[in-house]
Amino acid sequence: MAKKKAAGGSSGRLLEALRVPFGAVDLSTFDPRATTGFEGDKEAGKVALAGLGDEVSDWQERLFAEGRSGGTRSVLLVLQGMDTSGKGGVIRHGAGLMDPQGLRITSFKAPTAAEKRRGFLWRIKQALPGGGIIGIFDRSHYEDVLIARVRELVAPPVWNRRYGMINDFEQELAENGVHVLKCFLHVSAQEQKVRLAARLDDPTKHWKYNPADIDERELWPAYAEAYEAVLERCNTDAAPWHVIPSDRKWYRNWAVTTLLLETLRELDPQWPKADFEVEAEKARLAAAL
Amino acid sequence: MAKKKAAGGSSGRLLEALRVPFGAVDLSTFDPRATTGFEGDKEAGKVALAGLGDEVSDWQERLFAEGRSGGTRSVLLVLQGMDTSGKGGVIRHGAGLMDPQGLRITSFKAPTAAEKRRGFLWRIKQALPGGGIIGIFDRSHYEDVLIARVRELVAPPVWNRRYGMINDFEQELAENGVHVLKCFLHVSAQEQKVRLAARLDDPTKHWKYNPADIDERELWPAYAEAYEAVLERCNTDAAPWHVIPSDRKWYRNWAVTTLLLETLRELDPQWPKADFEVEAEKARLAAAL
């Protein structure tokens, strides 16, 4: 079962390499085609991703066991990015390596009237992972300072207040044992165009296409500015941001899965100790019908 | 994408072969070591299970796409069985072949006081899969006529009334597009003893062991009787029962996954047609920034 990597490896390296430095953020300085921390081509990347499966599953099961034994720690992977950046692909190919019993995946759409009435963080809190679970958010509370800001769904003082509310909320999460891993899937406008065209060319992908996608695309500069504000104002020690170069799907999938693996290694969950007398139970079982 | 099997195959065969005939049920006539519908050994079984991945994933995505496009059909896999029968193993190895985004897995523990007050089906209804989703219940409303009956948690008239309530409920589900697939994982008392001993022998599995498991085991004949009542009284055309021989883990995993695959083939979800003008959108995209 235990498939921990050999000591002296690259533990934590990608978490540091992709972490957004504190301070002002200029997205144009992040290369969406980079393959930071990986040496090799697409084929090697796919092999490397599959190769993470055993270790990430083993850590997941340890965390799950810890939760079943009363532990309250959990992981929350927050995925943000423009349309076609691959939030779904990361879940399918990365999270798909793990046991679905230990995952809680939530895809956030436009909030309902009842949800809005309770404040933007309410539905987020409803979806938090319990102890031992790896939660994954496909979009999140960050939409409330992204589309809400760009589309002017609320007044500027409202979205402006939210950055601080988000930081306070994420600080609380950290204190309560929810380890937040935030990933911005950074795709270029050119690559998005290629991917939207591919959806239009393939009848089995038409269901993924929405004419409104092009309307959103027209607002690309405003979204870039809103993302820069997020990466600058909500980048904290409690919940730092990572930018994932996402023009290459294979790299994106490998990178996010590696960040998750490094996060689990740092949490280092251990198999729970028996809270019963092992030898006595063996004797009881042997004597049982 | 499309990986439908060749025509003229064994579609539906295992669903029929493992289906419980209507009428009185005597569990002792079901062999827990059988490998019904499979020719080959353990290694061949593992290879065959992995070989189902592409087709079952393809059907799952079609169903998911149907749901995203307004479809209300879903699948609900109900897993029941004695401790160690492998409900979790089926989810890990069978459901684990699919995209976790399209799964909704619920593990039912003892109900809370607040849940009991609302009637035993309330929490079940809260956990039903939405359109396009494959729901999986690890234990279910059947516990309310199993442990509740064996342990006398409620009076006989109460659990006795529930069989009819369950049949009415499942009939409604069928009418509402929820395709229910019920599987009883049939493990022998001897095999359970081996598996409990294995948990006690392996410190990485101690967290799965509970001394109360032996207490439950002492009630094996009463549970067998309660399962026979379920398989007899809640075996309907709307939601028939299947008995899965489960002393061989590899067969159990292959069989349940095959039943799920055959169910999806019968539902035969198709890629949704575009609700926009494809050529017009291609032109818009080409002209966009």
* pLDDT band (50, 70, 90) for residue B12: low
pLDDT number for residue A123: 98
**CB B276 to CB A209 under 8 A?**
yes
* pLDDT band (50, 70, 90) for residue A266: very high
pLDDT number for residue A11: 45
pLDDT number for residue A217: 95
Token representation of residue A28: 């144009």
CA distance between the termini of chain A? 30
How high is the mean pLDDT of chain B?
95
Q: What mean pLDDT do residues B2-31 have? A: 77
Q: Please determine, for residue A5, whether its predicted confidence score (pLDDT) is greater than 80.
A: no
Q: Collect contacts of B81-84 with beta carbons under 8 A, ≥24 apart.
A: B81/B184, B81/B185, B81/B186, B81/B187, B81/B246, B82/B185, B82/B187, B82/B192, B82/B216, B82/B220, B82/B223, B83/B192, B83/B196, B83/B213, B83/B216, B83/B217, B84/B187, B84/B191, B84/B192, B84/B195, B84/B196, B84/B199, B84/B213
Q: What mean pLDDT do residues A38-52 have? A: 97
Token representation of residue A159: 């979205």
**CB B100 to CB A95 under 8 A?**
yes
pLDDT number for residue A289: 76
Q: What mean pLDDT do residues A253-281 have? A: 97
Closest-CA distance of chain A to residue B160, Å:
29
Helix, strand or coil for residue B152?
coil
Q: What mean pLDDT do residues A262-270 have? A: 97
Q: Please determine, for residue A129, whether its predicted confidence score (pLDDT) is greater than 60.
A: yes
Q: What mean pLDDT do residues A111-135 have? A: 98
Residues of A in contact with B103 (CB under 8 A): 100
Q: What mean pLDDT do residues A137-145 have? A: 98
Q: What mean pLDDT do residues A128-142 have? A: 98
pLDDT number for residue B5: 42
Instruction: Give the separation between CA A150 and CA A232, rounded to whole angstroms.
Output: 17
Residues 62-91, chain A, touching B (beta carbon < 8 A): 65, 68-69, 88, 91
Q: Which domains does chain A carry?
A: 41-269 (3.40.50.300)
pLDDT tens-digit profile of B204-239? 999 999 999 999 999 999 999 999 999 999 999 999
pLDDT number for residue B6: 37
Q: Considering chain A, what percentage of its residues have pLDDT values greater than 70?
A: 96
**CB A209 to CB B272 under 8 A?**
no
pLDDT number for residue A12: 58
pLDDT tens-digit profile of B117-164? 999 999 999 999 999 999 999 999 999 999 999 999 999 999 999 999
* pLDDT band (50, 70, 90) for residue B289: confident
Closest-CA distance of chain A to residue B30, Å:
20
Q: What mean pLDDT do residues B268-284 have? A: 97
Closest-CA distance of chain B to residue A106, Å:
8
